[in-house]
Amino acid sequence: MSIRDQIELNSGALTQSERKLASALLADYPYAGLHSIQELAERAEVSAPSISRFVAKIGLSGYQEMQRRLIAELAEGARSPVEIHRTGKRIEGGFLEEFIARAAIQMNSASAAITQAQFERICALLSEQKRSVYAIGGRVSDSIAMHLSFHLRQARQGVYHLPRDPDAWPEYLLRMRSGDILFLVDFRRYQPKLARLAQQANRKCKAQVILMTDKWLSPATRHASEVLAVPTETGTIWDSYCAALAVTEALVTRVAEQNWDKTRARIEAWDAAGQTDPETD
């Protein structure tokens, strides 16, 4: 269980000052907990003894244990496929059957990782026509961002997929307005350039960052207003994005069906625009 999970599990038993501390830790997780106890006390505006009591209340032996656990979580987020394969759980017997069974576990746990309230809140943001939506992902996870942008632009206007080349990003940052959305996908072996993009979009452009990541949390988390932490582990050489794709499809389908009349008219116009006139071909 992660430190974040332990905090949330014990949230009901926290005092007012402990809730303030929990908010400070989760707002910049896991980095806030890597400061010295005195620095964290100043940032959270609580006393050092309050931090010690908080750490014990969430089930840890002390502040040093919390920091060791947080460092371990960061290291887990940087593991390569070679390292994952060395410690992973091998598939024995029918490979396809077992792999799909593991993927099904991911799919089932995804709905528990994301509350219905958060899902509806993100759908509402993606539905607002006044907000432009910009999407991009990492080396492999960009396929998820492309999937979202392709389907979402059939339901509404103002949807853009950023190119992979960072040299092209300033054009999109200059186009962003306050309240626009940057939908960012970043799974472990996180890309620092994506975190910097999120920082610029949030701080300079006042855009809202919706981050899809895994349980180890991309560094871009600190700049995101919404974090979708989806399960990715299968115990095999590569993490699986099946749950991430399912959540993405649920988002775009919900957005499209919420205002079906406009969506249908746009899809029909989209299809008509893509047809070739045989007389002029």
pLDDT at position 25 is 86
What mean pLDDT is predicted for residues 208-230? 90
Q: Does residue 33 carry a pLDDT above 90?
A: no
Cα distance between residue 57 and residue 8, in whole Å: 12
Tell me which residue has tokens 């539905």: 127
Tokens of 215: 């349980």
Element (H, E) at 99: helix 95-113
Rounded to the nearest 10 degrees, the angle between the axes of helix 63-76 and helix 48-57 is 70
Question: Which three-class secondary structure state does DSSP give residue 234?
Answer: coil
What mean pLDDT is predicted for residues 161-171? 96
Cα distance between residue 206 and residue 200, in whole Å: 9
Q: Does residue 11 carry a pLDDT above 90?
A: no
pLDDT at position 85 is 47
pLDDT at position 131 is 97
Best-predicted range by mean pLDDT (16-30, 43-57, 132-146): 132-146
Cα distance between residue 177 and residue 13, in whole Å: 41
**What percentage of the chain has pLDDT greater than the value 90?**
49
Is pTM beyond 0.75? Reply is no
110, 243 Cβ separation under 8 angstroms: yes
Give just the sign of the alpha carbon dihedral 208, 209, 212, 218.
Answer: negative
Q: Mean pLDDT for the chain?
A: 87
CB atoms within 10 A of CB 249: 14
Best-predicted range by mean pLDDT (28-37, 39-48, 189-198): 189-198
pLDDT in tens, 253-280: 999 999 899 999 999 998 898 876 655 5
pLDDT at position 266 is 92
In the chain the domains, ranked by start, together with CATH numbers, are: 3-76 (1.10.10.10), 96-271 (3.40.50.10490)
pLDDT in tens, 69-112: 888 877 776 655 545 445 556 667 788 888 888 888 888 878 87
pLDDT at position 81 is 54
**What percentage of the chain has pLDDT greater than the value 70?**
92
Tokens of 154: 């059939």
pLDDT at position 84 is 47
pLDDT at position 14 is 87
pLDDT at position 249 is 95
